[in-house]
Chain A
Amino acid sequence: MLRYVLRRLGQAVVVLWGAITLSFVIVQLTPGDPARLIVMGNGQGDAGAADASQLAQIRDEMGLDQPLVLQYLGYLRRVLTLDWGTAYSRQRQAVATVIGDSLGSTLELGLVSLVLLVLLGVAFALGSVLLPTAWARSTFQAVTVVGIAVPSFVMAILLLQIFSFRLGWFPAFGADGPGSIVLPSLTIALLGAGTLGQVFSRSIREVSAEGYVEVARARGLGNAQVVLSHVLRNASLPVYTIIGMLVGGVVSGAAIIETIFGRPGIGNLYVEAVTARDFPLIQALIVLTGGLYVLVTLVVDLSYPLIDPRVVSPAARGGRR
């Protein structure tokens, strides 16, 4: 067990290092001169007017003229000391401040969305397995698929148009008050719930086909009873494994949803950072979301053995057979 934990921790560190490196590489590959971007950032002057010495000074201060390897090591050092520097846009505020201001609202949105998503997904799955007639089951399945097929931005536009602009039930923008989180989190949850529901219902069916379930059935238990008492626990394992992925999905979803709903947040910030080529902000957000994924999957994996002891053996987890 300890070996498993250590190995898993080691992997997490490697992945995190990879994400940090990737964020560095992406920025290196993106055209655009940071010195010029800084000078023109936010109306603090303009690049056309910036003279060469000013640009050179910025490059020198930022170490932009050093060899790439040194720049990379410097970047690693700064990341490790959590020194994110200042953003190019947003009045050159500290990156940590900019992100800090947005993080809360996205965390709130993400958590509410995840909870809703899981509830809806489980409901979808149970409905498509437990409903009494085949017709009802497949109708229910069809509904979940709609959640998968409708683009998130379309869903968001429609929900906003109907429930906010027309009916006025929920605020049209912002992140204040409980009302403001309903539509955005519902949008994200509806879309992810379809996925979750499908994975879960398939898993329920697979587990149902296994021997011990047949035995339970043979003992005369009803379908619902069998599913609820014997199948659910085992069938939920695969759901567990995609939670890390769902977290990533929620972050991606937030990029679009926050933009449409006018919620200040990490997703919105990222889209802006990309268009403004605000490199420090892009890097910090990539590392942040990468770190979040690593953390969530780590927690999931480490708690996995508690649910399914077989997991500890590496072979069961995708090691070589």
Chain B
Amino acid sequence: MSVLRDPVGAVGTAAGTAPGTDPSRTPVRASLRGLPRAVASHPGIAAASVFLLLLVGWVLVPDLFAPTDPVRAVGPSLAPPSGRFWFGTDLNGRDVYSRVVHGARSSLLAGLVAVLISLVCGGLLGMIAGYAGGILDAVISRAVEVLVSIPGLLLSLAIISALGFGVDKVAIAVGISGIPGMVRIARAETLRIIGLPYMDAATTSGTRRPVAILTHVVPNASGAIAVVAGIDLGGAILAVASLSFLGFGAVPPQPEWGSQINEGRTYIASAWWWTLFPSLVAALTVLSVNRISRGIGTREVR
């Protein structure tokens, strides 16, 4: 399954990037072993890796990259980009660059948490469904379809209306709406693995089912699932930004990309930098995550 989230719109997509189409037909065959070679032979992947490393730096030590206080006025209002303020300043005279750097933490961590939630819940359910089969499989599969039937953003919004405001709540909502995609992949991978000869050997030799899942399915399926999760991360980051954009995200003055984009929006005619730089960074992030996931997650067919 390539589309974990709504391919359009708010909730971005992981799509297209995953290899096959229907997971049961073309399982993801992926491995991290291909990474170094991929980086070497693809400048795009190399650039994406460098950018992601930079982002990791922003998340871990934002002050190193942007020593300016992100929540305090440090210059005139709406100053255009300059040597002093690389991305200009916002209405409150805050440094947009610094807010983007410091905002990376909430934006990216929210995306990561969301993917982790999808991954853990979806992965487990999918493996159980694939391994157990029968009624359990039918129940889980239908439940997944129910979740899929409601457009992701709408589902996230409904969950947020129950949970309330904040980046953490948004992450949970996005994570839940990403569960069905993960269930499908995990289930398909599990089906593929239990079809392999050594699984037969394991079961006939008397290994108990839960043990078999842990010892055989999890390690074998996790590579592919991790790659898909990587791809999903891009979509999750966009989804978080979308919900923030709609006003459910970060509580001011906490910097966050989606809300920054929204804040600056009314001023786009007079202070384009306020909304465009955060947009650009968000887009590059998703692009990089996707490029790398594709690079390691797929075998080039040609």
Contacts and interface: CB of A to CB of B under 8 A. Distances in A.
A274 B277 CA distance: 30
Contacts of A149: 12, 234, 238, 283-287, 290
A219 interface: no
B8 interface: yes
A203 B25 CA distance: 12
Nearest to B288: A149
A88 interface: no
B151 A256 contact: no
Contacts of B7: 191-192, 195-196, 242, 245-246, 249
B275 interface: yes
- In this complex, the interface size class of chain A, counting residues with CB under 8 Å from chain B, is 35 or more
A252 B155 CA distance: 9
Contact of B6 (A248, A270, A316): A248
Q: Which of B148, B290, B291 has the most CB of A within 10 A?
A: B148
A16 B145 CA distance: 9
Contact of B16 (A16, A157, A202, A241): A202
Given A241-B22, A242-B2, A274-B158, A248 B191 contact: no
Interface stretch (B71-79, B201-209, B222-230, B261-269): B261-269
A15 B147 CA distance: 9
B15 interface: yes
Interface in B111-165: 133, 142-143, 145-154, 157-162
Nearest to B195: A321
Contacts, number: 247
B68 interface: no
Nearest to B20: A238
A256 B154 contact: no
Nearest to A198: B16
Nearest to B4: A245
B10 A152 contact: yes
A286 interface: yes
A318 B146 contact: no
Contacts of B21: 199, 203, 237-239, 241-242
Interface in B157-211: 157-162, 188, 191-192, 195
A191 B24 contact: no
A169 B149 CA distance: 37
B301 interface: yes
Contacts of A203: 21
B255 interface: no
Given A15-B142, A253-B10, A254-B9, A161 B154 contact: no
B279 interface: yes
A150 B21 CA distance: 23
10 contacts: A22-B147, A30-B161, A31-B162, A152-B8, A191-B12, A252-B10, A277-B161, A282-B161, A286-B154, A318-B22
